[in-house]
A and B are shown apart, each in its own frame.
Chain A
């Protein structure tokens, strides 16, 4: 099947609710940094924005707006030690198996079989709120996260939006 036209359908949804047109982020160019080493020597971390919290942390607000909370998640966390609180997508499968959106077990396996060098000490979960405060993300939250990744010598970062 064709991929879903989220942009036009969300535009129509906002219009039907009487809201002004949503101002999407549209970038004409992108930066690209080549991997500095082969994949099988890289340290990899992941991020989910699917409202995923560890059981020893508060749940995310399922109706959050502008929530820039970002949890560091120990990479060896059990897949059964998570809760999902997010009212903006269907997470019935992910509730049963977190690997559907946050494949922490699969990444560990790919480290074990030598596909990647190693799993980073931490993954991340957050940025899940409907975020309308772009400058706070671009100028503050994202650089702070980038610095944390650098501190932990992460070579590549896999982001999984939800």
Chain B
């Protein structure tokens, strides 16, 4: 089971089961100290272990991030391009 914030990345690798959360990379389970949302997402992820029956299926969770966000490549890509 993969918990993905990169839907297209996971779709081409095709793990057996994927749950997609449309949150920034680094916030897969939400914001710091928001235990109830973290728990809710993890509960949904675990439920998908049983509900996904087709290999490679992706379940899109309906959670919305509170603001627009982009791809954050991080300092590493600038410091050492390879």
Contact = CB atoms under 8 A, between A and B. Distances in A.
Interface of A: 1, 3-9, 13, 17, 19, 24-35, 38-39, 42, 44, 50, 62-63, 65, 86-94, 96-97, 99-101, 103, 105-107, 109-110, 115-116, 130, 156-162
A101 B26 contact: yes
Contacts of A91: 26
Given A44-B46, A100-B38, 17 more contacts: A1-B65, A3-B7, A28-B14, A33-B16, A39-B49, A39-B50, A62-B76, A63-B79, A87-B74, A89-B26, A99-B29, A115-B43, A115-B46, A130-B82, A158-B45, A159-B15, A162-B26
Nearest to A8: B8
B62 interface: no
Nearest to A50: B26
Nearest to B47: A39
A97 B22 contact: no
Contacts of B29: 99-101, 103, 106
A88 B75 CA distance: 6
B74 A6 contact: no
B71 A6 contact: yes
Chain B interface size band reads 35 or more
In the A-B complex, the 5 residue pairs with the smallest Cβ-Cβ separation, listed nearest first, are: A87-B76, A32-B55, A30-B56, A97-B32, A88-B74
B2 A161 contact: yes
A interface secondary structure, majority: loop
Contacts of B20: 3
Nearest to B39: A106
A118 to B, nearest CB: 13
- Which interface residue of A28, A90, A100, A115 has the most chain B CB atoms within 10 A? A100
Contacts of B7: 3
A100 B55 contact: no
B73 A101 contact: no
Contacts of A86: 74, 76
